[in-house]
A and B are shown apart, each in its own frame.
Chain A
Amino acid sequence: MTRIDWLAIAPELVVAGTLLVVLAVDLFLPRERKYYVAALAVLGTTLAMVPVILMAVAGDSYSMFDGSYVVDQFALVLKGVFLVAGYLVLLISVSYVESDRFYQGEYYLLLLSSLLGSMVLTSGRDLVVLFVALELTTGPLFLLAGWRKGDLRSNEASLKFFIIGVLSTGLMLYGMSLLFGLTGELSFAGIREAIASAGLASEPVLGLAVLLILVGFGFKVSAVPFHFWAPDTYQGSPPPVTAYLSVSSKLAGFVAMLVVIYLALPAVTEFWGPALWLMAAASMTVANLSALRQTHLIRLLAYSSVAQAGFMLVPFAGAAIADDGLAEGLGATVIYLVIYAVMNLGAFAVVIAGGRRIGSYEISEWRGLGSYAPRQGVMLAVFFLSLAGLPPLAGWFAKFVMFRAILISTGPAGVWLAVIAAVNAVVAFYYYARVVKSAWFDKAPDVIPEDTEAGPTGPLNLAVGVSLVVVLVVGAFPAIATFFGDAAAALVP
């Protein structure tokens, strides 16, 4: 029975509408007023929050298109997260895009498209919606990565991202086709039932299908060994885009992984469990070690985000091992995602703000930041140390639930992964601290850099402020974050 509940898709509609308005308005705006579109975009995302909050408060659940499109607490929570992340990225973008004076209208258009894609993703409950939403999320980003058209690095970032992207999409689609071939279903529920009724859970071809699908997600979340594009692309892309890539795009990958694994393939732990265990361990280890060698802040953040992806995969591995791991793992992943999104965006915001002033992302050039710009220095320290997982900054709770989700299984596999994660958490601290060290402990350069770039810094500061408040408050009262986790856990029956 197909009935469209307009409230349920109101958030997507608002974003889509904003997107169109941006496109239209952009045509008529004179060059120097282009930043109006930014305001519009910000307004749109803010507006889109309203129905999300309304529905979340009401606690309703809507199912449309034969169950292909579901708006439940899980979807709402993640829509909210995507919107907030999008909102922050927009704020971060304003000054950067303004200062570089490149196609502002299109920039926001594409960003909003990607945002729309990820919002749809949260509600998609069959492979078609999932695929389309994923592509909508990623496609605009291929272009945004190359947005600094004259910059060879940006071009390169874009092409690399694109090629790896389409390759993984191809592999994922091949996996989906196999899945369809085995089950004759595209909806997650149908696939789950087909697997159960036909006893396919141990079928090797199903395993191949699962692994192929995981490639697609692995690419999106940039987990080792599907992460190779990330450092280059992050480094080459305009930093606000990188921020978006490292947060929203990664989140989208995780959301896709969550719905597919928990709704379609909960019984197939035999395949995705070990695979994700390996990916988690490899991501943490390889990325953390690689990050130790980085001298470029954004590239360091790239490896950091790969490592964080590794941490976020840990609960999945736990979910496969423990009896009641699924719900625990889901909650943990969502909490980690929420906290990661905010703190990573905060980190990017600070880095971009500092980058404006310093004009370089080489860590050594950031020396003495704390002495001449203490506020920025403090923010830098807060976000980076939060990423490192130090109490009382929000990051600790993310790590905490992650450990919790893996230790729920008492078997050796779980304990070993926990130990690997623990050691990695320590290693990770080293490179985060290196940035802090440079900013605070090293002597400032003789000529103190001044912020000479044009463009408003207000939105950027607002983004930093919002992130800061969240990081501090959630760090002290993690119960706020568990609310998201609990709400999302409703996904698992």
Chain B
Amino acid sequence: MELFEIWALSLIVFLPLAGALVALAIPKEREEAVKLWALGVSGVTLILAVIVAARFDFGAAGRFQFEVDLPWIGAIGANYHIGVDGISLPLLVLSALVVVLCVIYSWKHWDEPHNPRGFLVLMLILATGMNGTFVALDLVLFFIFFELVLLPMYFMIGIWGDRTMRKIPGFKKEVETRLYAAIKFFIFTLFGSAFMLLGFLALYFKSGSGGLDPTFDIPELIGRGFLFEGTFAWLVFGAMFLGFAVKVPMWPFHTWLPDAHTAAPTVGSVLLAAILLKLGSYAFIRISIPILPETAREWAPFIAVLSVIGIIYGSLACLAQTDVKRLIAFSSVGHMGFVMLGIATLTEVGINAAIIGMVAHGLITGLLFFLAGSMHHRYHTREMSRLGGNLKLMPVLGGILGFTAMASLGLPGLAGFWGEFMALLGSYQPLPGLSTDFFRTAMVIGAIGTVLTAGYMLWMLQKVNLGEPSSEWAGKKFHDVDRYEMIAWVPLIVLIVAVGVYPKLVLGVTTDAVVGLVETAFSSVLGG
């Protein structure tokens, strides 16, 4: 039993990586074996994650559990410190789940140039990076995992990505979408994380003032928050902000996202939307706010402004898209805007909103990308003007698309609603000291954003799902949802409904942790 406590998280993190290495040993031609292996590895990871969730002490969700703290790079004070609390647990489980679903989905869906082994290996490495980020409690460790996800995604986009030629505004030559998107994704993220690393190091050295040993340990740094103040803290927050905001992505650092999503293979898009984007917002909650609470208060209005711009801007941009995937990608900008708006309020409700928003967005947008991929697989186009009548050609697929779109536009009773609603709820009364007028304005604009969201989702549904199918598809036989797709999607659908009806599934874990976080970080303004 004790053994499990110690090993569980490490296994969740490194099992996929080990699995990836083993998979490399399987001959490339034996595709079934590779797939089964990947499924097994990710499945076991998921089971472990579920067991961790089951054995998690919900009464002490604010405390780190399954904690392991071992020396790792002694010379620079970095430790192998991992653990989960109520904030990271839902995301960890989500991450483990989505990977399994992606493996299942990709069973029969391979983009050119095929090569399942390579793809699955990358996916497993990605899983390690994602799971690791959610459990890392050491800045260096966090940095490693945070960066680890870049490479697999880069290759996924670059190798299996969209090969259509595209004219890039500002450049003379046409390039393949995937090439442009892959490098853009990478450069953007790397740019952010380079500054993030500078921020981490600055924190480290500053934490050593006053006779203490400098440390990268996140809980330890939270305790030393008093050391970080003034311009120093402001700059450090800014440096980390760059790193996280690019990943979220917040306006105006978002432009890599539509390109990356459009270009990525289906599973890549799913993972990108469902998990990778969460790394940034999670980092705000895990690192920026608790360690630099005072500075977070200074930055909060700024973050709120960008979030609100993101919400409106993302929605409006969606309305101008002609490509389904690109539309969904832009919708992420809007949805993550709500997440960040929640965080910017610095309240319990707001941060809770962010977490459930992340989970919901992961489920919903992940599913949307699955659907977009499956549609592309069948129609070989994503142009909405050519689609139409999808519901008639493929009733089940169309139905699920309709369901997901509804979830995405924040229909109450489905998962997407809570994130938006609670973000607005938090904005009405932000942390004391923040301007209520300001945040209430943000709330109203955000609420208008929900209207726009509904607008583009409905419009997309009308274009894609409804109407008579274009004559182009006349006489063509379309396979409706196949078995693998069904197995991959049903869990998401069930979860969207379950979280929607019973948000306690997520909030029950997070609330205590969030309350603890906010109370610790902002005791000065909340006191009394």
A residues with CB within 8 A of B: 331, 370-371, 374, 381, 385, 390-392, 396-397, 400-401, 403-404, 407-408, 410, 418-419, 422-423, 425-426, 429-430, 433, 437, 440-441, 477-479, 482, 485-486
Query: Which residues of B are found within 8 Å of A440, using beta-carbon distances?
Result: 155, 158-159
Q: Is the CB of A479 within 8 A of B72?
A: yes
Q: Is the CB of A441 within 8 A of B182?
A: yes
User: Pick the contact of B191 from A391, A392, A403, A426 — CB < 8 Å?
Assistant: A426
Query: Which residues of A are found within 8 Å of B459, using beta-carbon distances?
Result: none
Residue B211 is within 8 A (CB to CB) of chain A in the complex = no
Query: Which residues of A are found within 8 Å of B190, using beta-carbon distances?
Result: 390, 425-426, 429
Residue B198 is within 8 A (CB to CB) of chain A in the complex = yes
Closest to A375 in B: B24
- In the assembled complex, the CB of A396 is this many whole angstroms from the nearest CB of chain B, namely 7
C-alpha spacing A418/B206, complex, angstroms: 16
Residue B100 is within 8 A (CB to CB) of chain A in the complex = no
Q: Is the CB of A403 within 8 A of B76?
A: no
Query: Which residues of B are found within 8 Å of A419, using beta-carbon distances?
Result: 195, 198
Task: Report if A482-B76 is in contact (Cβ < 8 Å); known contacts: A429-B187, A441-B178, A441-B179.
Answer: yes
Task: Report if A433-B155 is in contact (Cβ < 8 Å); known contacts: A404-B76, A486-B75.
Answer: no
Residue B319 is within 8 A (CB to CB) of chain A in the complex = no
C-alpha spacing A403/B197, complex, angstroms: 8
Q: Is the CB of B179 within 8 A of A331?
A: no
Give the contact stretch, choosing among B139-147, B254-262, B399-407, B467-475.
Answer: B139-147
- In the assembled complex, the CB of A142 is this many whole angstroms from the nearest CB of chain B, namely 38
Q: Is the CB of A407 within 8 A of B151?
A: no
User: Pick the contact of B197 from A385, A400, A429 — CB < 8 Å?
Assistant: A400
Q: Is the CB of B151 within 8 A of A390?
A: yes
- In the assembled complex, the CB of B404 is this many whole angstroms from the nearest CB of chain A, namely 31
Dominant secondary structure of chain A at its interface with chain B: helix
- In the assembled complex, the CB of A65 is this many whole angstroms from the nearest CB of chain B, namely 33
Query: Which residues of A are found within 8 Å of B154, using beta-carbon distances?
Result: 433
C-alpha spacing A85/B13, complex, angstroms: 34
User: Pick the contact of A407 from B73, B179, B183, B205 — CB < 8 Å?
Assistant: B205
Task: Report if A392-B144 is in contact (Cβ < 8 Å); known contacts: A426-B187, A479-B74, A479-B75.
Answer: yes
Query: Which residues of B are found within 8 Å of A396, using beta-carbon distances?
Result: 144, 147
Query: Which residues of A are found within 8 Å of B197, using beta-carbon distances?
Result: 400, 403, 422
What are 28 contact pairs spanning A and B, CB under 8 A?
A385-B151, A390-B147, A390-B150, A390-B151, A392-B144, A392-B147, A403-B198, A407-B201, A407-B202, A419-B198, A422-B198, A426-B187, A426-B190, A426-B194, A429-B190, A430-B183, A433-B183, A437-B158, A437-B179, A437-B183, A440-B155, A441-B159, A441-B178, A441-B182, A478-B73, A479-B71, A479-B72, A482-B75
C-alpha spacing A471/B151, complex, angstroms: 16
- In the assembled complex, the CB of A310 is this many whole angstroms from the nearest CB of chain B, namely 15
C-alpha spacing A449/B119, complex, angstroms: 25
Task: Report if A400-B140 is in contact (Cβ < 8 Å); known contacts: A426-B191, A433-B186, A479-B72.
Answer: yes
- In the assembled complex, the CB of B504 is this many whole angstroms from the nearest CB of chain A, namely 37
Closest to B144 in A: A391
C-alpha spacing A422/B182, complex, angstroms: 20
- In the assembled complex, the CB of A83 is this many whole angstroms from the nearest CB of chain B, namely 23
Please give me the 5 A-B residue pairs with the lowest Cβ-Cβ distance, nearest first. A482-B75, A422-B194, A391-B147, A391-B144, A441-B158
User: Pick the contact of B186 from A397, A425, A429 — CB < 8 Å?
Assistant: A429
- In the assembled complex, the CB of A437 is this many whole angstroms from the nearest CB of chain B, namely 6
Closest to A430 in B: B187
Query: Which residues of B are found within 8 Å of A385, using beta-carbon distances?
Result: 151
- In the assembled complex, the CB of A325 is this many whole angstroms from the nearest CB of chain B, namely 12
Q: Is the CB of B195 within 8 A of A422?
A: yes
- In the assembled complex, the CB of A373 is this many whole angstroms from the nearest CB of chain B, namely 13
> B147-199: which have CB < 8 Å to A?
147-148, 150-151, 154-155, 158-159, 178-179, 182-183, 186-187, 190-191, 194-195, 197-198
C-alpha spacing A99/B194, complex, angstroms: 43
- In the assembled complex, the CB of A463 is this many whole angstroms from the nearest CB of chain B, namely 21
**A371-B113, A396-B147, A407-B205 given; 14 more Cβ-contact pairs under 8 Å:** A390-B150, A391-B144, A391-B148, A392-B144, A403-B197, A403-B201, A404-B76, A410-B202, A430-B183, A437-B179, A440-B155, A477-B72, A478-B76, A482-B74
- In the assembled complex, the CB of B470 is this many whole angstroms from the nearest CB of chain A, namely 32
- In the assembled complex, the CB of A398 is this many whole angstroms from the nearest CB of chain B, namely 12
Closest to A419 in B: B198
C-alpha spacing A220/B3, complex, angstroms: 54
C-alpha spacing A162/B76, complex, angstroms: 41
User: Pick the contact of A482 from B73, B118, B159 — CB < 8 Å?
Assistant: B73
Q: Is the CB of A331 within 8 A of B155?
A: no
Closest to B179 in A: A441
Query: Which residues of A are found within 8 Å of B158, using beta-carbon distances?
Result: 437, 440-441
C-alpha spacing A391/B149, complex, angstroms: 9
Query: Which residues of B are found within 8 Å of A423, using beta-carbon distances?
Result: 191, 194
